[in-house]
Amino acid sequence: MDDKLIDLVVLMVHQAKLPQYIFRYRSIFRYCPNGQIFDTQYFDSIIVNNELWFSKGTEFNDPFDCNIEVDTNNTEDEIRNYISSRMPVGTSLDNINLLVETASSDKDKFNQLVNDAVRKVLEKRGIVCFSKVNDNILLWSHYSDYHKGCVLKFDVLKNPEFFVFPLNVKYQADYPDYNHLVDSPDPVTPLIRTKSCDWKYEDEVRIVKNFTGPHTFKKEALVEIIFGWRTPETEIVRIQKLAADNGYNHIVFKQARLKKRQFGLEIFTI
């Protein structure tokens, strides 16, 4: 891994462009179709194997995630410059002109080709999502099994190489305007980091890798586990033991509870 990217993550934290502590909301249980608890192996693997799963953005619950339509309203000169810059050295001018003519004459087909190409690039990227907050009621409800799960707190500076590369999600009301031919040639940053303002409550940081699947973190980077106010006591005891048995004696255990006569959660050490 490029040391400069690792140094950049550290610099982002020191410049307050990236929080030192970020939070991963997780369910503990998997359920059968009838609602019965199936198992806990997916959650347990985080502790046992010290790894997080990086998914395709197209698998997330936002239908627009990594599914933004790219603007292909381009002039013939823009199309020519784009095609010319990506053809192998020695490609004849006649072949380039033919491709330009084809792209310019059938805009719908050209649009489809460009958008398909961009989606293929995005689908290769692995993404894991964190939040900058640990007490959001909706996040607990949506991603921590209706407050029966937990939140994992990570210290970015304990393992900066794992957090290469971080993106602070940008929330906006307007549909993103990204033209692949004239804007950044890499669609990852503008299309993975941009979401509707409907999702602003998530206050999200995304870590993007070059491939999907499990990625290993250093155990010391996981510094805290916060249980939900509905997490079964048996699971709290079991996970505390699981952590101790797998080299996480440094972890602080906390739990959320409902605030008195307020709409909110407070976090306390257990």
Q: Which one is predicted more confidently, 186 or 231?
A: 231
For the stretch 106-119, pLDDT in tens is 888 888 888 888 88
The model's confidence at residue 54, banded by pLDDT at 50, 70 and 90, is very high
For the stretch 124-176, pLDDT in tens is 999 999 999 999 999 999 999 999 999 999 999 999 999 999 999 999 999 98
Burial (Cβ within 10 Å: 0-12, 13-18, ≥19) of residue 23: buried
Distance CA 86, CA 126 (A): 25
Q: What is the mean pLDDT of residues 36-43?
A: 88
Return the biggest CA–CA distance within the chain: 75
Residue 136 CB neighbour total at 10 angstroms: 20
For the stretch 240-260, pLDDT in tens is 999 999 999 999 999 999 999
CB of 154 within 8 A of CB of 134? no
pLDDT at 185: 66
- Percentage of the chain beyond pLDDT 70 is 99
Chain-centroid distance of CA 25 in Å reads: 12
Distance CA 196, CA 174 (A): 8
Domain spans, the chain? 3-56+126-269, 76-121
Considering the chain, what is the average pLDDT of its residues? 92
Q: What is the mean pLDDT of residues 191-215?
A: 95
Q: Which one is predicted more confidently, 4 or 180?
A: 4
pLDDT exceeds cutoff 80 at 187: no
CA angle, 259 as apex, 233 and 132 as ends, to 5°? Answer: 85
Tell me if the pTM is above 0.85: yes
pLDDT at 177: 87
pLDDT at 266: 97
For the stretch 56-67, pLDDT in tens is 988 899 999 988
For the stretch 73-95, pLDDT in tens is 888 888 888 888 777 878 888 88
Point out which residues pair with 168 in neighbouring strands: 205
Q: What is the mean pLDDT of residues 261-270?
A: 97
